Structure 1
Amino acid sequence: MEPQIEEKKVDYRPLGISGLGGWLILVHIGLYLTIIMLVVQLFQYLVPSMTRETWELLTSKQSDYYHAWWGPVLIFETVYNVLFLVFSVYTLITFYRKKSIFPRLMIMFYSVSLAVGIIDYLLLLQIPMAVELEDGSLLKGIGRSVLTCAIWIPYFIKSVRVHNTFVR
């Protein structure tokens, strides 16, 4: 008879805190709110601006509201919002599946939001009517994005929970 070798069970769970709790709950809520906000924005503002009447009102040289930048700005905002909506849904799916790519997606999520906010603001500054209508909300949005990046990007880089949760 051969001597039996005792098998030891190896626990592959990460050390320390893990799971979709803690501060990640705020990220989770933020992703859902972003998706809701993007859908509302698309259907309340961007889809109506793409109707034939509104498009011609803003992009026809015979219109009092014409400016050469209206067309490119509206197309940019619509394309960005649709792509960012798809990206947000994909990011939420990777969150639930605890994929290792999730922290990088969130860093991209916050960085792209800030960059596009700045680009959109600079584009709208080219249109005098948009400058007149701007009530400071775009700059406040950029400020919130800067603060969000300053808080959440380091969190996704340094957090033990993030490192231990998103390992697949």
Structure 2
Amino acid sequence: MSNDQTSVHEASAENTAPKPDFTKYQGLGGWLIIVQIGLILTLISQVVSLLLVQIPFLSSKEWDFITNSSSEYYDPMLIVLVVVEIIGSIALLIFAIVTLTYFYKRKKSLPQLYIMMFGFNLIYAIVCAILFYQISIPMEEDTSIVKTVFRAALTCLIWTPYFLRSKRVKATFIN
């Protein structure tokens, strides 16, 4: 047999090789249940944060204190931090709604969208931490900021490889 015939034979053998059966991995089960719970909790936490903390803060005396340049609590970085937090919360809320919608519709682009949401959340946490530490008025040390950045980084480290390699993800998000 010549080299040309061998190459054609090998190529056709590769094309006829059985493809893995992913049907047992289809569905929103396994670790995707934890993903679903996380998305729902993100959605709820962003709504609660916006409605009960951030938006009321804008119409309160605290906002007047931090925006009045003669106030002892005035610091332009604090104003920037508050605005960035509100914009970031709205963006995360939109990300959570869209991602949850794609999740239930089993959209093929869900893994990339979910990874983008993780990345955005990590960048958002880092930016908020940097802004917080730029504030010049005396404040108590807030360890929750470091915990938030660490949690966002850990989430990226755990779930990004899962969404890139999981057989269940590949078998479920196909629409």
Aligned AA for 1:137? S
For residue 14 of structure 1, report the CA deviation from its aligned partner: 4.5
What's 1:135 paired with?
Answer: 142
Runs of 4+ in 1 over 4 A off after TM superposition: 13-16
Structure 2: give runs of 5+ residues left out of the alignment: 1-20
Contact 2:22–2:167 (CA under 8 A) maintained in structure 1: no
Higher helix share: 2
Conserved? CA contact 1:48–1:54, under 8 Å: no
Query: Which residue of the partner structure matches residue 146 of structure 1?
Result: 153
Of residues 157, 168, 174, the one that matches 1:167 is 174
- Runs of at least 5 residues in structure 1 that lack an aligned partner in the other structure: 1-12
Structure-1-length-normalised TM-score: 0.86
RMSD: 1.6
TM alignment of 1:8-19, pairs within 5 A: 14-19=22-27
Paired position in structure 2 for 1:67: 75
How many aligned positions are there? Answer: 155
Q: In structure 1, the residue corresponding to 2:25 is in which secondary structure?
A: coil
Question: Which residue type is aligned with residue 165 of structure 1?
Answer: T
Q: CA separation in 2, counterparts of 1:154 and 1:108?
A: 13
Identity among equivalent pairs (%):
37
Q: Tell me the equivalent position of 2:134.
A: 126
TM-score by length of 2: 0.83
Alignment-derived partner of residue 9 in structure 2: none
How far has the Cα of 1:132 moved from its partner?
Answer: 2.4
Greater alpha carbon shift after TM alignment, 75-84 vs 28-37: 75-84
Q: CA deviation at 1:16?
A: 4.2
CA distance change for structure 1 residues 41 and 134 in 2, over 3 Å: closer, same or farther? farther
